[in-house]
Chain A
Amino acid sequence: MSSTSLASSSIESEWVLPSRGRVGMFCLIAAESAIFTIFVVAYIYYIGKSLAGPMPKDVLELPIFATICLLSSSLTIHFAVGALRNGKSGIFGIWWFVTIALGAIFLVETGREWYDLIFEKGLTINTNLFGTTYFSLVGLHAFHVTVGLIGLAIGMVLALLGKVKQEHSERADVFSLYWHFVDVVWIVVFTVVYIIGR
């Protein structure tokens, strides 16, 4: 093509565009944020509008331990990606595993909370508006944690098989964006459900 005559080599050598993985993940995060926004708006709109009990202040307890676990998993995945970037696959595997453990503890804690609410305190998704909005918002978040854990587990299997190398650090980094997002959403959910809503 004759356009090569127009090509100044300086254009090509300086031509750096953003990573498609990061951009794609940010797009997903934008879309997911919009979904969560709608659920959060519904939650806030329906605070105090339940016609019958149980009410949030009667049954909800602050999930401090689960929150600490989930938020610290953001730190551990950050360490894991940093280790991989420096080529330390072993340390990556350790931090990655700790991340999975912390995420799993969070899910188990959510499960225990739900078991308590459903079987001890008699709150289900169709009891009242609080139940409707609580289970759907917390459930949507827990669903995202579950998806994240599946992704993390696949990464763990690959790491155990010795297939995760330094050149994969960008992929791990992109995945960690999702995990950070899930954590940030939890901060919002925690504030809305357990602080404002109670």
Chain B
Amino acid sequence: MSSESIALNPSDESTRPIGDRLHDWVTTVDHKKLGIMYILYALVFLVIGGIEATIMRIQLIVPHNHFVSPQVFNRMFTMHGTTMIFFVAMPIMFGFGNYLVPLMIGARDMAFPRLNAWSFWLAAFGGLLLYFSFIGGDGLYGAGSAPDVGWFAYAPLTARVFSVGHSTDFWTLGLLVSGIGSIGTAANIVATILCLRCPGMTLGKMPLLAWMNLVMAALVLLAISPLTAAQIMLSLDRYLGAHFFDTQAGGSAVIWMHFFWIFGHPEVYVLVIPAFAFASEIIPVFSRKPIFGYPVMVAATVTIGFVSFTVWAHHMFTVGMNSYANSFFTISTMIVGVPTGIKIFNWIGTMWGGKIQLKTPMLFCIGFLFQFLIAGLTGIMLAVAPFDWQLGNSYFVVAHFHYVIVGAILFALFGAFYYWFPKMSGRMYNETLGKWHFWLFLIGFHLTFDFMHIPGLLGMPRRIYTYEPGRGWDTWNLIITIGVLFQAAGILVFVGNLLWSRLRGPACTTDPWDAWTLEWSTSSPPPEYNFATIPVVRSRRPLWDIKHPEDPDWKYE
């Protein structure tokens, strides 16, 4: 198939001067280069956010520790949360979406390539603005500080009197700027999927990854915007003396919580739906079976999208709402469990009776399945308002959402890295190192986050910088921090594997996994124009049809 690729760019990439190649990357509007830049940028921030988490865990390893001051600890948890959500998880999902969606729907690029580049650079500058707070947070005088208001920045902590200097403003501006970039990317993804599908690819024949990115992008449009609005209000409060969140003038601190979580909860689904997308592409290929229940998967995804807008105040049970609100948000939160449960059954149904190949991407997806299930179960527990009154703002909650974000989302992401690495780089990763990464990270993850539930149940609140000995928290905190070492070792193996394989890995073929979606029909890495001729598809697995002309899928769909 690759024999048909056109030599548009005959000069060999590696012989061109480095300045030219750099210039290409900085000025590019190619969705694949932008996707890779998103991913690399997010990986840098992943390491930074990981270092911040490690600093917190070292501080908490024993009671009465003096590794960092309380002030630094506050900055660390604020920066860790903000970085991981806005400058790791979001850009990495956008990166994969950018790279994969046009390839999977048989398009030559995104619908608006220049908007795409603009969005990326906004996201990048948003991250720089946030981190500039370390040197610019107190203005030109003083040692500088990062924001320390927590990643959800409740009022009145963010009021000018309680947050002097500019650290909160860098937080606000960073999120505002990257949020505008996110809206641009989301609009781009929606337009690409609706308007650029190759002939024959009706909505019902799209790969599930495209479907889920469509839902994710719709969520971004409707969920990031409230955050943008709230950030504008906060800036008006801080700079023009407005009173939105100023209780002294009759304003409300609770309305900030509502505005933040109207963004904050759908945001969880913005991140987890692409993780579902990776699992939905990887599990079938390594089970050698088509996905089980395609239409139900699509329906469940869309349902999750809708329901996710009705659950936000389950983050606010401990704030004190009336019993009607408590009941409503308890019930709506439990309803989310239905479509997500359906998805888990569909993935298991896909694996059931399949010829399962335990390659690294599949291992990570199996880890994702189990851990997502447990994360969902503790989620159902926390959805019950009285239970949440007891455990809200404890380490149980921290353990729960890290189970979602690390155990589910990050595991699926690692699976995606290994699965599409050959396509993106043209080289094969090292399977042994991949397995080392999986097992190290799995052990570290469970040491840290399984045992983190227990001090939460024993009453340890989140965000404390130290604790008294003899409360029964000591051993658990020690184990939690030991788990971090394993996770860090896993990440080192991962980064090492990526670097080594990119430079020295064996060249790989167009289709190393014998997969079925269109990105595997073009060369690895794909040429700038993606497809020499725009493909025409007749089923959900176009490459299966090509490989098995005697028994094509479209006869049965």
C-alpha gap A2/B115 in the complex (Å): 34
Q: Given A3-B536, A4-B536, A126-B240, verify A30-B250 contact (CB < 8 Å).
A: no
A45 touches B255 (CB 8 A): yes
B243 touches A3 (CB 8 A): no
Flag whether B517 is at the interface (Cβ < 8 A): no
> Across the two chains, which residue of chain A brings its CB closest to B218?
A30
Chain B contact residues: helix, strand, loop or mixed: helix
Flag whether B22 is at the interface (Cβ < 8 A): no
A127 CB to nearest chain B CB (Å) = 9
Flag whether A118 is at the interface (Cβ < 8 A): no
B183 touches A128 (CB 8 A): no
Chain B positions within 8 Å of A34 at CB level? 221-223, 225-226, 229
A3 touches B546 (CB 8 A): yes
> Across the two chains, which residue of chain B brings its CB closest to A30?
B221
Chain A contact residues: helix, strand, loop or mixed: helix
Interface residues of B (CB under 8 A from A): 1, 4, 111-112, 115, 183, 186-188, 190-192, 194-197, 199-200, 217-218, 221-226, 228-230, 232-233, 236, 240-244, 249-252, 255, 259, 262, 521, 531-533, 535-538, 542, 545-546, 549, 552
Chain A positions within 8 Å of B549 at CB level? 5
Q: Can you show 24 pairs from A to B with CB atoms below 8 A apart?
A: A1-B532, A2-B546, A5-B549, A6-B537, A17-B195, A20-B192, A23-B111, A24-B187, A24-B188, A28-B183, A28-B187, A31-B187, A34-B225, A35-B229, A36-B229, A38-B225, A45-B255, A46-B250, A46-B252, A128-B249, A132-B242, A132-B251, A133-B244, A136-B233
A11 touches B200 (CB 8 A): yes
Q: Given A24-B188, A24-B191, verify A30-B240 contact (CB < 8 Å).
A: no
Chain A positions within 8 Å of B221 at CB level? 27, 30-31, 34
A132 touches B244 (CB 8 A): yes
B243 touches A129 (CB 8 A): yes
A7 touches B536 (CB 8 A): yes
A23's contact among B1, B195, B222, B259, by CB below 8 Å, is which?
A: B195
B29 CB to nearest chain A CB (Å) = 15
B156 CB to nearest chain A CB (Å) = 15
A38 touches B190 (CB 8 A): no
Contact with B along A111-125 (1 / 0, CB 8 A): 000000000000001
Flag whether A50 is at the interface (Cβ < 8 A): yes
* 13 extra interface residue pairs, beta carbon distance < 8 Å, beyond A1-B535, A20-B112, A38-B229: A1-B532, A17-B197, A20-B194, A20-B196, A24-B188, A27-B186, A28-B183, A31-B221, A31-B224, A35-B232, A46-B251, A132-B242, A140-B232
